[in-house]
Structure 1
Amino acid sequence: MGVTIGMLYPGFGAEDDYPYLEEILGEGVSLPLVHTSVGVDAHEVEALLDLGRSERLLEGAQELRTAAPDAVMWACTSGSFVFGWNGARQQAREVQDALQVPTSSTSLAFVDAIRALGMDRVAVAATYPEEVSRHFVDLLGCGGIDVTRLVSHDIATAALAGELDREGVLELARSNDSPEAQAILIPDTALHTARWINELEETLGKPVLTANQVTAWQGLRLAGALRPCAALGHLFAETAGVPAGA
């Protein structure tokens, strides 16, 4: 049987990662995507709080209803973690209540992915300014995850992050190869990463978790349809068969 994971994706940046993920995950996986509305495209706390407000997400959720999703993901890291641990969970609950299917977000997916890998020490290579990145570190801390080192690249907008090419993404990952970290996190769904996860892991010699990767992983996991995928790194290789809540 097929599985449909609805994606609520803010604006435009690296949304073409999702058709690619759909393709490599194989027959029966559908990742329909709705672009949620954006006020100001800026990696600034106030702009991100506006980006993730309930009205925007619930409007997008109504558009997803016709796809009859088995699970839904708020495919945005910064527009979830700026609300904090409890706020990000409430955000997901509101969409879940509206559509009556399991719902999560990219920020919460990072926490669950790290736990599923049995890890608790990570490094973060972020596109955001430091002020914004610190909110992600705080959310990870609430999930029991220690950030051994944070590097912030001060990219001002999602649109600019979406312009980074393969070499730019590799350089970003290399910027924070903290030896104490068990994995490297690259938290921005506006950044193209899906095609290069195995190369990133080979370059750094450890698992690399990226935003669009963990978003797809979490959606499949919530729908009870997680499957191995050789193109998507340690996360998909090592956690297939781990049930939601484990």
Structure 2
Amino acid sequence: MVDMLEDLSSMVPPGPVVLSKIGVVAPYDMALDHEMGRWAEGQADLYFARSPFEPSPVDLAQAEQLARPEMVIETSRRVGAVAPDCYVYACTSASFVHGVAGERELVSAFRAAGLPHLVTASGAILAALTALKVRRVAIAAPYTSAVTQRFADFLEEGGLEVRRASMLGLAGEIWKVPYARTAELIASADCAEAEAVVAACTNLPTYHLIAPLEEYLGKPLVTANQAAMWAALDYLGLEPAGPGQRLLAVRADGSKR
């Protein structure tokens, strides 16, 4: 028996590695689980729970449906058994639709329910721009004009100056937008007065675009999923993965990594 155990010990690798856990509350139409996981590679495991299916176009009415604190809290409990170290609410529009006060109320309600720290996509965007010491921004959004305007209002309420906004006018299936079209959208949004470009929507693929577009634009590009994962990992004391992405070189307090 002893000999068998010694033989096994030489064959069995160490581990398993125990990673931090991030619970992700996602809207029912979220299709980019794999993208969000890229920033956490080797650092944290992500556990997704989706909101109840309530078919609706991507508009202000949908955002208001998804902004209900009780729904976010109830959805988060579906992954509570694995004891996440923190949560991310991966819906940009739902976390900006009621302004800065609405985003803060959502976070407060989550905490009052006895749940761990909550990062919202929109709150993380504000935190990212603050850490980068940016005040003037351009917006690149896949949304309709009404939703894009509400996002601009949120950013301005958060102390930023929106100098230009470009949009795709989409009301669904945003995850299908090809990189080429997204790159054109971001480039068209940029202007000389903007210190950074912000790409909205957690359902818009951006991971592989960020570093090359930052080089092309000569300024930071902050995207919804990037900011959300950066903020969550920073809260956990972990470093996000994303070579060449400017945001990842700073911490939430503005210090350099």
1:110 maps to 2:128: no
Q: Is the contact between residue 39 and residue 51 of structure 1 (CA under 8 Å) also seen in structure 2?
A: no
Number of matched residues? 237
Letter in 1 for 2:117: P
1:214 maps to 2:201: no
Is the partner of 2:113 in helix, strand or coil?
helix
Q: In structure 2, how many angstroms separate the alpha carbons of the residues matched to 1:99 and 1:232? A: 37
2:153 is matched with 138
Shift of 1:240: 3.3
CA distance 1:211–1:232, change in 2 (3 Å): farther
Is the partner of 1:181 in helix, strand or coil?
coil
Q: In structure 2, how many angstroms separate the alpha carbons of the residues matched to 1:195 and 1:32? A: 22
2:201 is matched with 188
Match among 69, 78, 94 for residue 93 of structure 2: 78
1:65 maps to 2:80: yes
Q: In structure 2, how many angstroms separate the alpha carbons of the residues matched to 1:124 and 1:191? A: 13
CA distance 1:99–1:195, change in 2 (3 Å): farther
Alpha-carbon displacement from aligned partner over 1:181-232 (angstroms, at most 9, x marks no partner): 1110001101111232112212222110011100101111223x14264426
TM-score if structure 2 supplies the norm length? Answer: 0.85
1:197 is matched with 210
Shift of 1:97: 2.5
2:25 is matched with 8
CA distance 1:79–1:120, change in 2 (3 Å): same
Shift of 1:62: 0.5
Is the partner of 2:40 in helix, strand or coil?
helix
**Percent identity of equivalent pairs:** 30
2:35 is matched with 17
Q: Is the contact between residue 121 and residue 146 of structure 1 (CA under 8 Å) also seen in structure 2?
A: yes
Q: In structure 2, how many angstroms separate the alpha carbons of the residues matched to 1:140 and 1:6? A: 26
Q: In structure 2, how many angstroms separate the alpha carbons of the residues matched to 1:115 and 1:66? A: 34
Q: In structure 2, how many angstroms separate the alpha carbons of the residues matched to 1:5 and 1:210? A: 19
Which deviates further from its counterpart, 109-118 or 40-49? 40-49
1:242 maps to 2:253: yes
Structure 1 portions without partners, runs of 5+: none
Q: In structure 2, how many angstroms separate the alpha carbons of the residues matched to 1:229 and 1:129? A: 31
TM-score if structure 1 supplies the norm length? Answer: 0.89
Letter in 1 for 2:183: L
Q: Is the contact between residue 163 and residue 194 of structure 2 (CA under 8 Å) also seen in structure 1?
A: yes
Q: Is the contact between residue 10 and residue 75 of structure 1 (CA under 8 Å) also seen in structure 2?
A: yes
Structure 2 portions without partners, runs of 5+: 1-17
CA distance 1:226–1:144, change in 2 (3 Å): farther
Is the partner of 2:159 in helix, strand or coil?
coil
Q: Is the contact between residue 124 and residue 149 of structure 1 (CA under 8 Å) also seen in structure 2?
A: yes
1:170 is matched with 183
1:41 maps to 2:52: no
Q: Is the contact between residue 85 and residue 142 of structure 1 (CA under 8 Å) also seen in structure 2?
A: yes
CA distance 1:45–1:154, change in 2 (3 Å): same
Runs of at least 4 residues off by over 6 Å: none
Is the partner of 1:72 in helix, strand or coil?
strand
Shift of 1:30: 1.8
> Greater Rg, structure 1 or structure 2?
2
CA distance 1:20–1:221, change in 2 (3 Å): closer
CA distance 1:192–1:146, change in 2 (3 Å): same
Q: In structure 2, how many angstroms separate the alpha carbons of the residues matched to 1:156 and 1:111? A: 24
Shift of 1:20: 2.4
